[in-house]
Amino acid sequence: MVFLDLSENRLTGPIPDEIGNCTALQMLNLSNNTLGGTLPNSLSSLSRLQVLDVSSNQITGQIPEGLGNLHMVNRLDLSKNLLTGPIPSTLGTCSALELIDLSNNKLSGSIPVELYRLQALDIALNLSCNELAGTISSLVVHLSKLSVLDISHNHFGGDLLVFSQLSNLVSLNVSYNNFTGYLPDTKLFRQLSPEDLEGNEGLCSSTHGACFMSKSSVLAVEYHRWSKKFEVAVTLLVTLTAVMAIMGVFVLLRTRKVEGKDGDSEAGGGGSFPWQLTPFQKISFSVDHVLKCLTESNVIGKGCSGVVYRADLGNGEVIAVKKLWSTTMTAGYRYQDRHTTVRDSFSAELKTLGSIRHKNIVKFLGCCWNQNTRLLMYEYMPNGSLGRILHERDNSNGCLEWELRYQIILGAAQGLAYLHHDCVPPIVHRDIKANNILIGLQFEPYIADFGLAKMVEDGDFAKSSNTVAGSYGYIAPEYGYSMKITEKSDVYSYGVVLLEVLTGKQPIDPTIPEGLHIVDWVRQRQWRGNVEVLERILRGRPESEIDEMMQTLGVAILCVNPSPDDRPTMKDVAAMLTEIREDKAEDQCGKGDGLLKGSSEAHNRSSSSGGGGSSSMTQEQLQQLCAGEQ
């Protein structure tokens, strides 16, 4: 059992300890019941858990320290319970956390400094309506990706200057605490409503300019603080000098010993595990050039399969290098050819990327590995990912105009259509999301990260997978109950990306009320003809472009149909998107037959070349798009 959703029932009593026996669980949702008792320690056994939601119950006691063992969890919601005691510092080891909601409990103490080191925390941190106290550590600046921070209705004190460098915040609520002093003179604080600041008696919270402290003043205050800390540090340093001198000798000997071991396993310099290199393109660099770039300062991203580095090779060439997490590679494993059995992310990406060529799929340069380390080398994309451009406030590209968005979604659709219809056997990506669509120098899209891809042999196209592939928010609903792998799962994920591009919102977005998924939110807002679902910056575009966007929205709704059989193929999707631009001057309803014709012709060409799949676009669907639901 991978998904367990018992939310919004009338369940009572404690959560049974036996829940820890369901070690394959990836999503556990017990929210909106009347469960009581304490959180069982056995939850720490659910090492594969990605979503834990027990909000809106009557759970008492403290948050178990063992939750720190959930290293894969990305969403933790314990809100609206009766939890007491401190926030466990062990939560800081859950490095994949993107959202934490502990609001509306009776938690006490301060915020553990370990929480400030959760660099993946980019959606929300909600600690409101508790009994927390203390000051906010200057380490909060490490939460540079955080979008929403709510610490209202607590007993926090000190000033708010520590928040001045959180440039990615879109929402901040510090009301009803004990904060004092002035406000940082930043765009965020200038836009805060009085309700977000009220209830702090010593805080200058007027919207007039007198309450804002300039950046230079903030730096002066920080300098004064750090100068005092520096004096203390110098005193301690002098005291410890003698001890450090003695320990230095020991550390030096220890380091040399470790470096000798690393030289054998990593660099292969005369050791028993030398590096092997397999190029898939013409390259002008060696393994040594690549290894020198694998430093913390060159990290540009981390994911479920590994960490990605920007490698400047010194000859004017820059590449991206993915270092995969250690998994199941054995001592006897060696890459032989492209038909090697798919055993882990390394072999999956080798087999997939080594056999495909398309203008909208990231160029795979080669791979190198030894006993302990596996590296994949790609063409470097200077503009990062589509997700970064859409959602990070500090990106250098600003907001994408519709023309660029259209070219990106069309190119991504063509790349996916190639994988589904032109590769033999077909390839299902299984992790399509905005962060896996990379953007080139001219804003051309490239599908990346094939660590979960599956090459589906004939007669095995709907075989169940032993794990749920994909990312939270993009996973097709059929995964939860059937574990079936088909190309229609990619179509659903692509539809979510389309909605993301059109609305500017993430699949699970803090600005969407009631925690709705983006698909449900768009449907509730009666998307047909309602331009309010479009991102604000897009609504002022010319009428012809608005028409294109609304037609694209119609394609997205088809892609996210709950029934896999009723979703179009990616060949259909690419044809429909192309037709939108070609017939942009025509009215949407008047060109329904043209869309169907273009879709059918694309399908027929695919079928005649042996790469087809049945088209699911029907005249009835197109009529529904034009007429709207009654």
Cβ count near 444 (within 10 Å): 16
Q: How far apart are CA 204 and CA 179, in angstroms?
A: 9
Residue with tokens 């909106």: 32
The DSSP result for 328-354, as a single string, is S--TT----STT----SHHHHHHHHHT
SS3 of residue 201 by DSSP:
coil
Residue with tokens 């369940």: 11
CB burial of 92-112 (b: ≥16 within 10 Å; e: otherwise) equals: bbbebbbbbbbbbbebeeebb
Tokens for 186, please give them: 């930043």
Q: How far apart are CA 214 and CA 184, in angstroms?
A: 7
Query: At 134, phi and psi to the nearest 5?
Result: 95, -175
HSE toward the beta carbon, residue 476, CA cutoff 13 A: 29
Q: How far apart are CA 342 and CA 452, in angstroms?
A: 10
Residues labelled as active-site residues: 431
Q: How far is CA 381 from the centre of its chain?
A: 18
Which run of H or of E encompasses 172?
strand 171-173
Report whether 323 belongs to an annotated binding site: yes
Q: How far is CA 249 from the centre of its chain?
A: 44
Q: How far apart are CA 177 and CA 616, in angstroms?
A: 56
Q: How far apart are CA 233 and CA 226, in angstroms?
A: 10
Residue with tokens 């999301």: 433
Type of residue found at 36: G
Type of residue found at 380: Y
Residue with tokens 């009428």: 543
Cβ count near 525 (within 10 Å): 11
Q: How far apart are CA 214 and CA 462, in angstroms?
A: 60
SS3 of residue 242 by DSSP:
helix
Burial (0-12, 13-18, 19+ Cβ within 10 Å), 244: exposed
Type of residue found at 167: S
Q: How far is CA 270 from CA 278, 288, 294, 372, 494, in A?
A: 20, 14, 21, 16, 48
Q: How far is CA 299 from the centre of its chain?
A: 16
Q: How far apart are CA 115 and CA 123, in angstroms?
A: 14
Type of residue found at 595: L
SS3 of residue 306 by DSSP:
strand
3-state secondary structure 50-117: CEEECCCCCCECCCCHHHHHCCCCCEEECCCCCCEECCCHHHHHCCCCCEEECCCCEEEECCCHHHHH
Q: How far apart are CA 467 and CA 406, in angstroms?
A: 33
In this structure, are strands 276-279 and 374-379 parallel, antiparallel, or unpaired? unpaired
SS3 of residue 85 by DSSP:
strand
Known binding positions:
323
